[in-house]
Amino acid sequence: MILMKKIQFTVFMVLACMAFTGCSEESSNEENTATDGVVVDRFADIQVLRYELSGWDKLSLDQKKLVYYLSQAGLAGRDIIYDQNNAYNLEIRKALENIADNYDGDKTTDSWKTLETYSKQVWFSNGIHHHYSMDKIKPGFDKAYFNEVAKASKASVSSEALEAIFSTTKYMKRKVKDANVDMIQASANNFYGKGVTQEAVEAFYNERIDVNDPEPIEFGLNSTLILKDGKLFEDVWKSGGKYGKAIDKIVYWLKKAVTVAENDEQAAALRKLIEYYQTGDLNVWDEYNVLWAAATKGDIDYINGFIETYGDALGKRGTYESIVQINDFEASKRMKVVADNAQWFEDNSPLMPEHKKKKVVGVSYKVVQAASESGDAAPSTPIGVNLPNNNWIREDIGSKSVSLGNIIEAYEQAGGPSLVEEFAHDLEEIDRAKKYGALAGKMHTALHEVVGHASGQINKGVGQPSETLKNYASTLEEARADLVGLYYIMDQKLVDLGLIESLEVGKAEYDGYIRNGMMTQLQRLELGQNVEEEHMQNRQLVASWVFEKGKAANVITKVSRKGKTYYDIKDYTKLRALFGELLREIQRITSEGDFNAGKKLVETYGVKVNKAIHKEVLKRVKPLNLAPYNGFVYPVFVPVTNKKGEITDIRIENKQSFVEQMLYYGSTYSFL
């Protein structure tokens, strides 16, 4: 999917594919200076935007109620993501909300301004660690000042929470991906209890997983693994269990949603989701996903649950998220052709024959409008989603892919001076990006989500990628889906289908992908850092691999001009062949569960950063004053009732500032 929590703004590469087969794409932005009216706030490295929700008045009352109930269900679980990200996040968030609401001291000092910025960063990231890099956010104020302000605001903060904020040695990174350390012990997230080690976790699940099970559950997806009486125990997230108070609120609103479901299939899926939340049974979760994936009728759809596993170094625990969406009929009709031709793409892919699906089933693709998002999907949102994540469901039942059209439109409206002019090799490349970049990004997103995540199959008896490829699974899956999109975006078939007007669209995507993978995405890292985030690893891996393998044939040249570095693609046809070659190998690694080959590929090409290039990128980006990351404020749905208390309409309010929305959410949806 989500899911997830990214591309380059030629626009929407498939950045963030959530979980191994799911995917959520975010904008990674080559164009990202916003225009007035779209921008709500700007702080640190973040820009907050507002999107529009059109066609609301065309929905029936029951459809409006359905959107409202589903949005309330999503927001009811908002506290969960904070606690998942770190054990002290909720306490810290509530203290910051208290301060923002009640402090009446001097608000002109530098210390106050840095505290305001820190608060916004915490709200944006759903905790004290950066939403993307996962590094701990550095407070620009000292502990004494914070204690003073907290006391004046009557905000209670424990010594442990203060340590979480100010320690320079503890809780430094939310998720650590480093094969040389115990990744569970090193990570600051709250998925595992005190004293739980990576070795113990892997042994715990190795005893329970049957690689020959044709319908395996997603082990560990919805629980905290803790030590109890010296033994490991799954503290399941369900009604009556961990997070039960918030989950009960989610269930309350889902039950209301059932009463206004658009059809029987949708209602059946919602009832099964309620059962899952009540029981915590992962077999029921699979039953729900089977129903949900097959429920493709209706104008309203949703994502709700513990879904994407990017936040866990071992790729097992799912972060809470919710997206409520409304179908965009005209845009969906135009792009449906991608899903309709999924079998052709599979049959003609460069994969080994034994790794191709003989029959691609149940693939659907829609362009939708995001109505509401919460949890790990907000405020930093995906632009595309592909679910469910369980491989056997995708193979036997199918999957749903969506592009969030109004999110994409908001990014486009926010586009201004871009990185293209600074990093493109020549005017031809710049002109191609301006003419075809947006379409190229949308097509790559569609191909990545619909074809990429639906392609290929795992050999029988190999097991799930989370088990075989472990901490490299997400990076390799995102690379695999990206490569499918890259391979086909330069195929004449897309022109024949009327999806693109010429292969110049594919060239624009190739230009942007290499620019981003080799250089521009490095603006997101501090000098000296390695690449750890899976989607960044994926893009660097792909770009670096094809650059190196194409050297002898002069496929891509590295150009130095007036002290600046550029990458110039000399042969797009040969580059496409290299993308196909790498796709074939990564599918082999995935199909065969070849951990050592996967590790070598990621570690060799996806992790290490050329320090000189990185320094140059930071220097060239600085004068552009761009925000590397974007997120959103969301519409508020307000019920209109008659004298009997019956809902007669749902009104949209869409004027909150970022701070107003965060404080509103904190006071309205705080259940843990």
Residue 638 tokens, joined: 């307000």
- CB neighbour burial string for 626-662, b if at least 16 within 10 angstroms, e if fewer: bbbbbbbbbbbbeeeeeeeeeeeebebeeebebbebb
Distance, in Å, from the CA atom of 275 to the CA atom of 256, rounded to the nearest integer, reads 14
The residues near 368 (Cβ < 8 Å, ≥ 6 apart) are 301, 325, 326, 327, 328, 332, 402, 403, 404, 405
pLDDT of residue 466: 86
Rounded to 5°, the CA angle 349-351-353 comes to 105
Asked if residues 556 and 567 have their Cβ atoms less than 8 Å apart, the reply is: yes
User: In terms of Cα–Cα distance, which of 643, 503, 627 is closest to 46?
Assistant: 627
pLDDT of residue 417: 53
The share of the chain scoring above pLDDT 70, in percent, equals 94
Query: How many residues belong to the chain?
Result: 672
User: In terms of Cα–Cα distance, which of 1, 20, 15, 4 is closest to 465?
Assistant: 20
Asked if residues 446 and 482 have their Cβ atoms less than 8 Å apart, the reply is: no
3-state secondary structure of 218: coil
pTM, two decimals, is 0.88
pLDDT of residue 28: 41
Q: Which residue has the higher pLDDT, 318 or 29?
A: 318
pLDDT of residue 415: 61
* Domains and their CATH numbers in the chain: 23-51+246-306+319-359+377-607 (3.30.540.30)
Residue whose tokens read 């225009």 = 35
The backbone torsions φ and ψ at residue 653, rounded to the nearest 5 degrees and listed phi first, read -120, 130
DSSP structural state of residue 31: B
Distance, in Å, from the CA atom of 531 to the CA atom of 522, rounded to the nearest integer, reads 9
pLDDT of residue 330: 77
The share of the chain scoring above pLDDT 90, in percent, equals 83
Distance, in Å, from the CA atom of 346 to the CA atom of 329, rounded to the nearest integer, reads 26
Q: Could you report the per-residue pLDDT of 160-174, keeping only the tens digit for each? A: 999 999 999 999 999
Average pLDDT over residues 5-10: 32
Distance, in Å, from the CA atom of 240 to the CA atom of 9, rounded to the nearest integer, reads 44
Q: Could you report the per-residue pLDDT of 389-402, keeping only the tens digit for each? A: 999 999 899 999 88
pLDDT of residue 363: 83
The residues near 402 (Cβ < 8 Å, ≥ 6 apart) are 301, 325, 365, 366, 367, 368, 384, 385, 386, 449
- CB neighbour burial string for 538-549, b if at least 16 within 10 angstroms, e if fewer: bbbbbbbbbbeb
Q: Could you report the per-residue pLDDT of 543-591, keeping only the tens digit for each? A: 999 999 999 999 999 999 999 999 999 999 999 999 999 999 999 999 9
- 629-633 and 384-387 as β-strands: parallel, antiparallel, unpaired? unpaired
User: In terms of Cα–Cα distance, which of 103, 272, 125, 5 is closest to 662?
Assistant: 125
User: Quick check: 1 pLDDT over 90?
Assistant: no
Q: Could you report the per-residue pLDDT of 61-111, keeping only the tens digit for each? A: 999 999 999 999 999 999 999 999 999 999 999 999 999 999 999 999 999
How many Å separate Cα 100 from the centre of its chain?
29
- CB neighbour burial string for 163-186, b if at least 16 within 10 angstroms, e if fewer: ebbeeeeebebbbbbeeeebbbeb
Return the axis-axis angle of helices 572-592 and 534-549, rounded to nearest 10°: 130
Return the axis-axis angle of helices 427-446 and 473-488, rounded to nearest 10°: 110
3-state secondary structure of 229: coil
300: pLDDT confidence band, cut at 50, 70 and 90?
very high
pLDDT of residue 9: 31
User: In terms of Cα–Cα distance, which of 321, 229, 235 is closest to 22?
Assistant: 321
Q: Which residue has the higher pLDDT, 477 or 23?
A: 477
- When the pLDDT of each residue in the chain is averaged and rounded to a whole number, the result is 92
Distance, in Å, from the CA atom of 420 to the CA atom of 516, rounded to the nearest integer, reads 10
- CB neighbour burial string for 215-236, b if at least 16 within 10 angstroms, e if fewer: ebbbbbbbbbbbeeeeebebeb
In order of 164, 521, 625, 648, the CA distances from 417 in angstroms are 38, 17, 10, 45
Distance, in Å, from the CA atom of 130 to the CA atom of 135, rounded to the nearest integer, reads 5
Average pLDDT over residues 484-513: 97
User: Quick check: 134 pLDDT over 50?
Assistant: yes
In order of 430, 489, 490, 504, 506, the CA distances from 495 in angstroms are 22, 9, 9, 10, 10
Asked if residues 476 and 465 have their Cβ atoms less than 8 Å apart, the reply is: yes
Asked if residues 620 and 562 have their Cβ atoms less than 8 Å apart, the reply is: no
